[in-house]
Chains A and B, each alone.
Chain A
Amino acid sequence: MNKFLWLRREWQRYRASHLLITATLVLGLGGVFLIERLKDAFLSSVRGQERELLSSDLSLGARRPLKETEVEQFQKATQDSVLQSYRVIDMSSMLYAPGGEAARLVEVRVVEPGFPFYGSLMTSEGPLRLTADHPLFTENCLWLHDEAARLFDVKVGDELRLGEGTFRHCGTVQKDSTQGFRGFALAPRIYLGRSRLVDTQLVGEGTIASHALHLKLRPEANKDLTTDWKDALLKEFDDPAIRIQRPSDTSEQTARSGKLFGDYLQLASLVALILAVVGTFYLFRTLVHRRLKDVAILRALGVAPGEARQLLLMPLITDFLVAIPLAGIFSAVLFPVVTGVLDQLFGTQLPATGFPWSVWPAMPLIFILVMAILMPSVEEAVRVPVMALLQDQERVGMVPWRQAGLWGLLGLVSLSGLAIWAAHSWKIGGLFVAGLLLATLTLAGFTLLARWLGEKVLRRSGHISGVFGLMGGLVIRRLLRRPMTTLLTVIALGLGSVLISLLGHLELSIGQEFSLESQDRPALFMFDIQDDQTEKFKAFLSESKIPLQALSPMVRGKLVSVNEEAFRKDKQEAMFQTREEENESRFRQRMMNFSWSSRLNPSETMVEGVDFAEASVPEGEVAVSLEKRFAQRLSLELNDRLTFEVLGVPLIGRVVNIRTVKWTSFRPNFFIIFAPGVLEDAPKSWLAAVGQMPAEQKAQLQNNVSRQFPNISSVDVGQLVSRLMELFTRLKKALQLMALFAFLVGVVVVGAMAQDQVLRRQNEVMLEKTLGISPWRVTLMVLGEFLGLAFVAFTLGGLAGAGLAAVLTVVVFEGNVIWSASLLLSITLGGMILVSIPLLLMAKKIFTWRPAGLLQQP
């Protein structure tokens, strides 16, 4: 048999069905392609700016002043290739507005002449050229980011105070190529010349500041050597506090945040893909059923089952292959629309990209998923009882449950693979699939239960027109007795609304959590309090009658080993690294903050182990408490023996309890807390939290603290919360965009299913008219059936999303659950309005079908 001829005829005869299948696949694939495009664009934007972000070719840095020996080693390793160098210090501090009345936290970047080697600080007069004679170094000048200038409402020439020094606002930086995406930093940036730093007296022992030495390499120097230098020097230093950064390392952090966000978007697009596959399954199954007789004839004429399978699958594979480039085009068309929205939300400008080739690893998985879902329908057709069908009895073949189960398993495996690919995380990917399975099983269970119960009631009922009248009775019977259509429609519409409801409820719960004006929540969070300032600081607060909620010491150190096994592991470069592996690897490289305390603070709850007072540890060891998630992430358990190092001094700790922390309390909290008695002599700074007070008093306190203790920085917790909420809302809006896409794909899929169902029910419609039901009632019944289903699907989906949000709120955010009836109602109503559009388009057709058609059938 000429397969190409078969293919051509198939397309000619079932053009509408194949167009619908291709269009459905284009929608599903298009969403995945679009997100890959966005991720590619984001990464290429970040990578394109990586040298500008670092501002140099290589840097040596630490969150402490660099030691001379470290600088010498660094310079020795790179000396032949270095053209120029400068130092940069980054820290947080309070900046006073003109008149010294209002102080706000700013990110201070202290620079030397020549900064930046790459990129620019753009002002309205053009880029700043920071030569040695620039006012930034020769005069008491500050350059403020436009956001800082707006915050302080200052104009050029106004005086500002930073630490102990008074400065003039000499200019506004409108665009800073050394800063990643704006809006993500908690405080606006200002620039200060290194030569003027001494005036501020900000850098002292205990102040947390990042110090870095940046190098510009000679043009002829081999830039690839930076990787070798980095590896060799890190081995030589063997200190997790030291960071050596190449341009690619700088972009890593920004890229990581972007990728994480992109991964969540990709998961939302997977929902759209799954809905499209559900739609494809439905359309393909319908097409196969229409072809059953053809298959039976071919089988009767001697076509082998394998050939019959090929004939059925070939058009579908063609549809899939045609859908790939079309989805590419579709995503290219959508790209500017979506980037337009994202640009508005994040102030980015994502460049246009070509076909998202990074999606290729997922394509075989998508193909396997589609095949696994559709193969049972093909098998039903191939195993058709030939004679029964040729005698006009519409029957399909039975697929052995073991084979159906294997296809199901293959589908599940490919879906899991896709989810892990999209999330870059075993955990999130696994949770996503588990959530989907749970949602599907719940919906399936609900449908089967409703059918069972409904059938019981219907059997007992004396007539069709029960409580809901004849029309209602007929519609209920259709819904209950076509469970596959009912279930697929509920899933197709329900999953999209689950996402929208989940995001909406999460926002409400988190918003409420952050907006609670709790008396327990501090008004101000203060840091960089020096050891010798604590008594004076306490006295100052006491005099001002300000309640001190917490004052906690903070010591920096590293975890060296766990149960005598080295904790720090060499970073492995791998083709595919999951987010959990990345996080663990990063955690193991980091310096950590420790504290000590004799008891838990109000935001902590012990969940395992015993209190420090009751703990007995071997001699020479100290009792240690770990935060639950920190312990889980690093697989640390009760009774583990941990070896720490604080400024070269080893400390042996024994885990005696695990505790949960309510981070939204905004109190000073730590992953690792020691029992008192060992850390007291280590170099440390202190963190403080002060209780709620009127806004005016709070501003006054910030100003007074800054005046009396210029090195102490304070964060207004209320402002921080609103900034976090703003960021969350922006991320949520972008995710919601994708959820809306999934929702719309669901609606389109249901539109296609409804269209197909209506065509398949032409006989039923004509029969009902023949039996005496008026055309408008017949039309209303079909519309009512789908709208009823949509109502159930949107309501169930909305409730399921609210339920998921409740679980996440309690388990992840440890907050209070909120249910929004208005949100649920808008999802249901909005969804039903959308679904009615394709239905109303079909209504005329249903209304005008003449019942005479029944008599003219062969």
Chain B
Amino acid sequence: MSLQAKELSKAHHQAGNRIAVLEGLSLDVKSGETVAIVGKSGSGKSTLLSLLGGLDHPDAGEVWLAGEKLTGLGETALARMRARRMGIIFQQFQLVQTLTALENVMLPAEILGDKDVRAQAEKLLASVGLTSRQHHFPNQLSGGEQQRVAIARALAGSPQVLLADEPTGNLDVETGLYVMDMLFALAREKGTSLVLVTHDPEMARRCSRVLRLEKGSLQA
């Protein structure tokens, strides 16, 4: 089981100019491996993550997940694939505001049609230390708590890959460290691959591999 990117290219068009973001990028993430992607602002880290998660389509190249080719799949098929195999963590937490913490965590499994989702969600919330906050809405939680809910949600469907985009970007240092400890521990515990986009060298160093994104391609 691995996440593979082959010869990925992506460009943005701005005021009639083509700005190349990724050019012939390739990446192979093994099962259970943690990979940090670092790079300057605007280097294309988030673009790479969105292509790996099937959130956007590359101009050229292919993405493969567990032997299944994502490139070329329709939106509905991509959505199902994400629900089954991926968890995504965002810098801005991105919780559904009209769902409680517990319901946010239950959501991915319910999308897959699982029946007994509540007990699993409660367990996950307990694992991120939020049992007492499970019936709170996102706007009733602190930033750190919201990100912990987001991590629990990302792990709810037992994904094979976790994609995390600057997960501590909106948190203070202490909370950020606590949240990352939790993320790494849970990923390790579940044997989930982790692709972490970060600016923080300390965070990056905790991954088994660090790749720098420069001029549209990855360098070790």
Contacts and interface: CB of A to CB of B under 8 A. Distances in A.
A174 B140 CA distance: 76
A851 B55 contact: yes
B88 A772 contact: no
10 contacts: A464-B107, A481-B97, A764-B97, A767-B94, A769-B79, A771-B82, A773-B83, A774-B79, A856-B47, A857-B91
Given A463-B118, A855-B90, A477 B55 contact: no
A507 interface: no
Given A464-B106, A850-B55, A772 B80 contact: yes
Interface string A441-479: 000000000000000000100111100001001100110
A775 B76 contact: yes
A763 interface: yes
A768 interface: yes
Contact of A854 (B84, B90, B116): B90
B79 A772 contact: yes
Interface string A838-856: 0000000000001110111
Contact of B110 (A394, A465, A769): A465
A855 B88 CA distance: 10
Contacts of B53: 770
A776 interface: yes
A463 B118 CA distance: 6
Nearest to A850: B56
A463 B106 contact: yes
A774 B110 contact: no
Contact of B99 (A477, A770, A852, A856): A477
Contact of A770 (B55, B91, B170): B55
A393 to B, nearest CB: 8
Interface of A: 392-394, 459, 462-465, 470, 473-474, 477-478, 481-482, 763-764, 767-776, 850-852, 854-857
B111 A470 contact: yes
Interface string B113-144: 00111100000000000000001010100010
A481 B83 contact: no
Chain B CB within 10 Å, residue with most, of A393, A763, A773, A857: A773
Given A464-B106, A772-B83, A774-B75, A856 B111 contact: no
Contacts of A771: 82-83, 107-108, 111
Nearest to A778: B79
B96 to A, nearest CB: 6
User: Among B47, B99, B137, which residue has the most Cβ atoms of chain A within 10 A?
Assistant: B99
Contacts of B55: 770, 850-852, 854-855
Interface residues of B, number: 42
B177 to A, nearest CB: 19
A470 B110 contact: yes
A511 B75 CA distance: 57
3 tightest CB-CB pairs across the interface, nearest first?
A: A772-B83, A852-B56, A852-B50
B17 interface: no
B75 A764 contact: no
B14 interface: no
Nearest to B172: A391
A772 B78 CA distance: 8
Given A470-B110, A763-B94, A774-B76, A481 B137 contact: yes
Contact of B112 (A770, A772, A855): A772
B83 to A, nearest CB: 2
A773 B98 contact: no
Contact of B98 (A393, A477, A770, A857): A477
A68 B155 CA distance: 106
Contact of A772 (B46, B84, B137): B84
A464 B76 contact: no
B2 interface: no
Given A482-B98, A769-B75, A770-B53, A459 B117 contact: no
